[in-house]
Structure 1
Amino acid sequence: MPYFAVQYTYRPAKAALRDQHRPLHREWLAEEHSAGNVLIAGPYPDGSGALIVIRAADLEAAEAFLANDPFQAHQAVDAIRIDEWTQVFGPFPA
């Protein structure tokens, strides 16, 4: 199944909204990580966004999957970039 690199962009104007929904967002990430759908996830140290690497059948499935993220449901993310990604070296199953 393909991998997708997801980049969330955050703007300061929505910081309070993200703070409010972060516990649900992280719970969702943890559940999906345990299920094998989220491979890695974490924010950028400067607060400008986050990187999530997921598995999905295709781009459409990746978009549908991400729609379940509480940050998405509550419009706490300012922009999303989703790129199919090919692992050449790394820890994830082939």
Structure 2
Amino acid sequence: MPKYVLWGTYCDNVLERRAPYRQAHLEGLAAQKSAGVLLTIGPTQDLRLVFGLYEAADADTVRQLIEADPYWQHGIWTDYQVHEWIQAL
């Protein structure tokens, strides 16, 4: 199955703004991980970018997961790109 890279951006004041949505966000990610579609995800140290790796049938599936996330729906993630990734090693 193809793998996909997510690169996205966070809003300003992310630590404060994410608080009301964090639990639902983490629960959704845990469900994706359990289902095998989410391999890993997390912020950069400076909390400006989010990086994720997915294994899914197609890029639209990944986009649907991102856009269903509370962080996207409430403007915590402000933009994203999904790219098919070729794992060389």
Matching of residue 39 in structure 1 with residue 39 in structure 2? yes
Task: Kindly tell me the number of residue pairs found equivalent between the two proteins.
Answer: 89
Q: Percent identity?
A: 29
Gapped runs of 5+ residues in structure 1?
A: 90-94
TM-score normalised over the length of structure 2: 0.86
CA-CA distance at 1:32 after TM superposition: 0.8
- What corresponds to 2:61 in structure 1? 61
Gapped runs of 5+ residues in structure 2?
A: none
CA-CA distance at 1:73 after TM superposition: 2.1
Bigger shift: 30-39 or 70-79? 70-79
CA-CA distance at 1:24 after TM superposition: 1.2
- What corresponds to 1:27 in structure 2? 27
Structure 1 residue runs of 4 or more that deviate by more than 2 Å after TM superposition? 13-17
For 2:60, the aligned partner's letter is: E
CA-CA distance at 1:47 after TM superposition: 0.8
Distance 2:76 2:60 in 1: 21
For 1:7, the aligned partner's letter is: W
TM-score normalised over the length of structure 1: 0.82
For 1:58, the aligned partner's letter is: D
For 2:8, the aligned partner's letter is: Y
Q: CA offsets per residue over residues 20-60 of structure 1, 9 Å max, x none?
A: 21221111111111110100111111110211111221222
Root mean square deviation, CA, Å: 1.6
